[in-house]
Amino acid sequence: MTQAHLYRGGRHEAESAPGRVYRCCACRNSDGRQLGARCPKLSNARHGTWAFAVDLPSLDRRRTMRRTGFATKAEASAALAHVD
């Protein structure tokens, strides 16, 4: 119920592989920066593509692996499941 929880990310998803599946797109704002998952048009289901991001523990620091361009959430989830 606490709003703070929504922004912690990750910890809540213990049921499956650690990682996030989300939609993003290549729209840019007036500064030329990509909006990514923050594009307001993403409320339209046909806008953008699916992507995943997963934190990969490495020897001295964490790396985040990202892949974008999946047509469906299922595809992105399947690809995420194959990341080891």
Give me the residues that bind Zn ion (CB under 5 A), please.
Answer: 25, 27, 39, 41
Nearest distance in Å: CB 20, Zn ion: 18
Q: Which H or E run contains 33?
A: none
User: Shortest gap between Cβ of 28 and Zn ion (angstroms)?
Assistant: 9
37 or 67: whose CB is closer to Zn ion?
37
Q: Which is nearer to Zn ion, 2 or 43 (CB)?
A: 43
| Residue owning tokens 């699916």 | 50
Alpha helix (H) residue ranges in 3-72: 3-6
CB of 29 to Zn ion, least distance (A): 10
**How many residues can be counted in the chain?**
84
Number of Cβ within 10 Å of residue 70's Cβ equals: 19
